[in-house]
Amino acid sequence: MFKLIRQLLEFQAAIGISLRELMRFVQDLMALGRPPIIADEEALRQWLRDLVAVLKAIAAETPTAIDDDGVEMLSSLLDNDAVWKVVYSTIVLLVSDGILFGEAEEAELSDKLATAMADQPDAKVATIEPLVIIAVIRIIIALIQAWRK
């Protein structure tokens, strides 16, 4: 418990927000509740969208733009049906089957993502590097697993 409090206070100091703002963000994150079951695609997508809304508010309070850009990219991925389909199927595969994600799987997924993004009218999505999306998928999976504990 003390470790968590210390980490929250370090985070608060690092991004330069008040303790009241920090507690509001923690409250917003806790209000999300546990992630839905992976099999419920729309519920998972909505939960991630709600998470992104909280992350946008946190990113807006930091002095850097890179976190704003990262959250905006995640939002774009969730809003794009073709890319979301690949992201979601990968999440399901990795979480439910516990498959190890090696170089061959990463290359195959990168190709699928590149195909899904090839004709995207949304320039934000079309320019995202597939390896970045793979990293985001790994973060999403780690977040879901940690949140469930």
pLDDT value of residue 53: 92
Spatial contact of 56 and 28, defined as CB atoms under 8 Å apart: no
CA atoms within 13 A on the CB side of 73: 17
- pTM comes to 0.73
- Give the pLDDT confidence score for residue 10 in this predicted structure: 79
At 16-51, the pLDDT tens digits run 777 788 788 888 888 888 888 888 999 999 999 999
- Cα–Cα distance between 95 and 127 in angstroms, integer? 27
Residues of the chain where predicted confidence (pLDDT) is lower than 50:
none
Name the residue ranges covered by the structural domains of the chain. Answer: 32-148
25 burial (CB, 10 Å; 0-12 / 13-18 / 19+) is buried
CB atoms within 10 A of CB 140: 23
Q: Are 32 and 47 in contact (CB under 8 A)?
A: yes
Task: Determine the Cα–Cα distance for residues 61 and 18; give it in Å rounded to an integer.
Answer: 10
Q: How far apart are CA 127 and CA 72, in angstroms?
A: 13
Location of structure tokens 């009241």: 20
